[in-house]
Amino acid sequence: MKKFFVVLIMAASMAACTSAPDAPKADAEEAKKMETSTQTGNDLAVDVEQSSVTFIGTKPIGQHTGVIQISKGSTISVENGEITGGKIDMDLTNFKITDEEMDAESAGKLTGHLQSDDFFDVANHPTATFEITGVKPYTGQAAVEGEEDKAEGATHFVSGNLTLKGVTKNISFPATLKVVDQAVKGRANFNIDRTQWGLVYGNDKSLGDRFINPQVNIQLEITTAM
């Protein structure tokens, strides 16, 4: 999988307001164990220069975008051309706001706020993790029952434990994965509800323009080193 994701922020869910990008919803469930008793195959190192997690958070008056750095030591496990596991570590002390029209001072203030205990509490939880618990062929099912299938081009359905701010939840989402000559490339685009990990700051519509949408868009792109 090439740049991988995950990170989280804000948004708005009012009529005529900026809302999270239209993408499959990855609802959170209780943490799960691997679907097989052990993780098998070769551990392939994730290329951290070519991989990342991108997020989009929205609010009534606009949106913010950013990229979270994937940590060295992250791996994807492969056996017989199939992904059998993997663990992605994300460095929350090292992410970049990428809003096109935001100056450096404003971007620094936003970064500091996101790293504070209002959001990720980076002082106590500097790393977010995603650990794969299952990978299945994608057959057109939506990530959340009753939702429209929005995963055009998906090849697999990925499940894994996402840990943020000390809270671990299992999420499932469609992804496009390709394994060639023991190298993995993949991408995914989905939305999560940040409040399911206790990230509740600004989640009150009475705040008006200061309301922050609980739905956060995450775009993962991961590739393993050759």
Please state the pTM of the whole predicted model: 0.84
Task: Note the pLDDT of residue 146.
Answer: 59
| Tokens of residue 155, six digits | 């090849």
Task: Kindly report, residue by residue over 18-49, the tens digit of the pLDDT.
Answer: 677 888 888 889 988 876 656 677 899 999 99
Task: Note the pLDDT of residue 204.
Answer: 72
Task: Note the pLDDT of residue 87.
Answer: 96
b/e map of 1-14 (b: 16 or more CB within 10 Å)? Answer: bbbbbbbbbbbbbe
Enumerate residue ranges in the chain where pLDDT < 70.
1-18, 35-39, 141-151, 205-206, 208-209, 226
Q: Is the dihedral of CA 165, 168, 172, 175 positive or negative?
A: positive
Length of the chain: 226
> 3.40.710.10, 3.30.300.30, 3.40.30.10, 2.40.128.110: which CATH number matches 28-223?
2.40.128.110
Q: Comparing C-alpha atoms, which of 193, 192, 189 is closest to residue 219?
A: 189
**What whole-number distance in Å separates Cα of residue 95 and Cα of residue 3?**
13
